[in-house]
């Protein structure tokens, strides 16, 4: 099943807020509907947001509104993951060539996502097995960087899946990833469907899993990688990187090239989404600060694995 697809001139996407209890899809015909789905995280995950941005411009180009205005609204729906703006801009560049060219470009972005993530998954798996001197590799991961965050093949979970397919995977530890539980709801669901042995731990237990030697590597995705190699990812990633450095195990970031943002010099300059406090405290009057992402400094990142290369310390440009 594709997480997001273009079928008969509309977007079909898995409704991720209802998983894992309810597996259902959304039919999206307008940019308004798409912006709503993105804002409430029914469609989420950096590469999937890139595809959504691309397909959203296709919807706009087939509609009657001002395509550039619609594109600007889409771009602003979620600011942290650079892929959304990347997908919008890539397809918008074809606007002068007419609606058919715009749709073809958007569908190209969608198809490319599968190919690129598959490539980075196997590249990352090979790198880990080489680095660790063989398998089985026990992995700690965070949030959901699986097929649900992409089209069909994940980034961090793409590496896990490639390890499984090459008989080099041990056990996977999954942070539950508060507050929306993308780890225990989405990643655990995906791993179960793939028949991969896994255990969910609370976010604050991730560093202990690492310190106790239960994980051989941390593998996560990214929402934006700044020009200096700083990695912006779901809140709670940074403590895993600190723990990995202390334990001397690799901290690996798996992301397509479209997640690298050379226009942003370092991670401190990235706009971090601050989401509704109600996601933490419900309707209680307690003050709450709900950062959605954190910044892992480049010096804590052992390797960035993309669809084209492995970056270990060298400049990204
Ligand atoms: O808020 P979300 O669910 O969109 O956050 C997703 C993440 O942080 C993922 O780890 C990241 O996008 C990488 S997905 C391949």
Q: State if residue 103 touches ligand 1 by the CB under 6 angstroms criterion.
A: no
What is the model's pLDDT at position 1? Answer: 81
Report CA(146)–ligand 1 centroid distance (Å).
9
- For residue 211, the CA-to-ligand 1 centroid distance in Å is 25
Domains parsed from the chain with CATH numbers: 4-112 (1.20.120.420), 120-311 (3.40.50.10470)
Residue 113 a catalytic site member: no
For the Cβ of 50 lying below 6 angstroms from any atom of ligand 1, the answer is no
Distance, in Å, from the CA atom of 270 to the CA atom of 287, rounded to the nearest integer, reads: 24
Q: Is 234 in the pocket of ligand 1 (CB under 6 A)?
A: yes
* Centroid of ligand 1 to alpha carbon of 99 (angstroms): 30
φ, ψ of residue 294 to 5 degrees: the values are -130, 175
Give the whole-angstrom CA distance, residue 206 versus residue 224.
22
Cβ of 175 below 6 Å from ligand 1? no
Ligand 1 centroid–CA 100 distance in Å is 31
Give the model's confidence band at 176: pLDDT under 50 very low, under 70 low, under 90 confident, else very high. Answer: very high
Q: What pLDDT shows up at residue 315?
A: 76
Closest residue by CA, ligand 1 atom 15: 145
Distance, in Å, from the CA atom of 173 to the CA atom of 140, rounded to the nearest integer, reads 5
CA distance 52 to 43: 8
CB of residue 74 inside a 6 A radius of ligand 1: no
Average pLDDT, the chain: 97
Burial class (CB in 10 A: 0-12, 13-18, 19+), 218: buried
CB atoms under 10 Å from CB of 63, counted, come to 14
Tell me the pLDDT tens digit for each residue of 271-313. Answer: 999 999 999 999 999 999 999 999 999 999 999 999 999 999 8
* Interval 214-272: pLDDT, tens: 999 999 999 999 999 999 999 999 999 999 999 999 999 999 999 999 999 999 999 99
Q: Whose CA is nearest to atom 2 of ligand 1?
A: 45
């Amino acid at each position: 099943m594709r997480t997001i697809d273009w079928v008969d001139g509309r977007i079909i996407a898995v409704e991720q807020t209802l998983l894992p209890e309810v597996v259902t899809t959304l039919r999206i015909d307008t940019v308004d509907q798409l912006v709503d789905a993105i804002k409430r995280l029914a469609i989420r995950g950096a590469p999937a947001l890139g595809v959504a941005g691309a397909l959203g411009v296709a919807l706009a180009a087939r509609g009657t509104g001002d395509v550039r205005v619609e594109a600007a609204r889409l771009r602003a729906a979620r600011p942290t993951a650079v892929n959304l703006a990347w997908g919008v801009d890539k397809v918008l560049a074809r606007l002068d060539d007419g609606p058919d060219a715009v749709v073809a470009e958007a569908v190209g972005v969608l198809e490319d996502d599968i190919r690129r993530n598959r490539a980075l998954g196997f590249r990352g798996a090979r790198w880990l097995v080489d680095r660790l001197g063989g398998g089985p590799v026990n992995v700690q991961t965070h949030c959901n960087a699986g097929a649900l965050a992409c089209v069909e093949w994940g980034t961090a979970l793409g590496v896990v899946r490639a390890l499984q397919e090459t008989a080099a995977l041990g056990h996977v530890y999954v942070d539950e990833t508060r507050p929306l539980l993308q780890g225990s709801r989405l990643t655990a669901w995906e791993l179960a469907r793939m028949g991969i042995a896994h255990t969910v731990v609370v976010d604050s237990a991730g560093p202990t899993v690492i310190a106790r030697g239960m994980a051989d590597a941390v593998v996560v995705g990214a929402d934006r990688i700044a020009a200096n190699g700083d990695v912006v990812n779901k809140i709670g990633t940074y403590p895993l990187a600190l723990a990995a450095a202390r334990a001397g195990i690799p901290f690996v970031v798996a992301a397509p090239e479209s997640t690298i943002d050379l226009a942003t010099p370092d991670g401190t300059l990235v706009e971090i989404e601050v989401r509704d406090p109600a996601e933490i405290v419900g309707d209680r009057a307690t003050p709450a600060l709900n950062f959605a992402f954190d910044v892992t400094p480049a010096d804590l990142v052992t390797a960035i694995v993309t669809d084209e290369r492995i970056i270990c310390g060298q400049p990204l440009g």
